[in-house]
Amino acid sequence: MNIQHLNRDYFKDVLFGLSIGDALGVPFEFKNRDYFYAQPVTDMEGYGTYNQPPGTFSDDSSMAFCLAEALTHGYDVEWIANNFISWLHNRYWTAHDEVFDVGISTSKAIRQLVLKVPPVLAGGADVSDNGNGSLMRILPLIFYLRYLPETERFKKVSEVSSITHRHPISITACYYYMEFARLIMEGENKMSVYKILQSGFKDSVNKLMSDHSHLQLFDRLLNKDIHTLQSNAIESNGFVVSTLEASIWCVLTTGSFKEATLKAVNLGGDTDTTAAVTGGLAALLYGWKAIPVRWMNMLAKREDINDLAERLKATFEHHYGV
Ligand SMILES: [Mg+2]
């Protein structure tokens, strides 16, 4: 382990990083890129698309908090699924006691969960069910995964993605993202992480999945150098591979939390999710203390999020041997 990582609080990095990114993007969701060329976002703002005050996080963070909350009781897909139902139906872990955004596949999957379909079978498995709805909420699972062997890591990512998104494309995107996060936590620098995955990710997926024809969709991440692309080659729509590519591109082409998350928002389109997915990794790289204090002070439920991070830390502390 790299010495600079010894005093880090990855629990706060993950929970604050993703929710701050989410909140930065919420007012601008669905705005196209031309809007931002004329007036780039440079700070936390409010209102806009959903008319929410500054610092309001959305479904991405709510569902990630639901997952984190479930993990404080150990790994149990039923518990995670029940928390997702509570979020959608009872506004559990919402910023201001309101669910103002939910993806189509997620909403369909939660209907299945209510009908008692087993969580690992609830998500859509059609090729059209590959929005970024499981990628946006999966990062807290890293605390459970990080010390497991590869086959178990993949199995758990697959199960947790499948609660809402069961197609191999979504599962592979989530697995890539989690491996990226895990390697950062091992103390690798971001470019080494990227190179390690370029050399090994394809082989692991070939080993872990019986059908891996969809891997060609990951070609730009795995075989090209995504960080060398210009912004006009980076898509920021709701497709899970686009969101993954955009977030890795934002992280690799910037040098701070603030720069990475603002770059994600300024891509336009699915601004909150691109920035949430970017923000989780950026906070793991730079630490949650690198998040502008002004933004932290605006974040809804920050005390509750801090408390959740501490409870999650207490749950997993024994893994660190401290
Ligand atoms: Mg959202």
Instruction: Confirm if 270 and 241 have CB atoms less than 8 A apart.
Output: no
Has residue 322 been placed in a domain?
A: no
Has residue 8 been placed in a domain?
A: yes
So what's the pLDDT on residue 2? Answer: 53
Rounded Cα distance between 254 and 261, Å, is 9
Has residue 309 been placed in a domain?
A: yes
From ligand 1's centre to the CA of 125, what distance in Å? Answer: 21
**Near ion ligand 1, which residues have CB within 5 Å?**
58-60, 101, 272
Cβ count near 6 (within 10 Å): 9
Has residue 299 been placed in a domain?
A: yes
Cβ count near 321 (within 10 Å): 5
So what's the pLDDT on residue 1? Answer: 47
Instruction: Confirm if 76 and 162 have CB atoms less than 8 A apart.
Output: no
The values of phi and psi at residue 134, to 5°, are: -95, -35
From ligand 1's centre to the CA of 12, what distance in Å? Answer: 20
So what's the pLDDT on residue 321? Answer: 47
From ligand 1's centre to the CA of 57, what distance in Å? Answer: 7
From ligand 1's centre to the CA of 22, what distance in Å? Answer: 7
CATH code at position 291: 1.10.4080.10
* 150-204 tens-digit pLDDT: 999 999 999 999 999 999 999 999 999 999 999 999 999 999 999 999 999 999 9
Has residue 296 been placed in a domain?
A: yes
Tally of domains in the chain: 1
Cβ count near 240 (within 10 Å): 28
Has residue 108 been placed in a domain?
A: yes
From ligand 1's centre to the CA of 96, what distance in Å? Answer: 14
So what's the pLDDT on residue 7? Answer: 77
From ligand 1's centre to the CA of 262, what distance in Å? Answer: 16
What the block records as the tokens of 205 is 């997926």
Q: Which residue positions in the chain have pLDDT lower than 50?
A: 1, 321-322
From ligand 1's centre to the CA of 30, what distance in Å? Answer: 11
- Domain limits at 176? 3-317
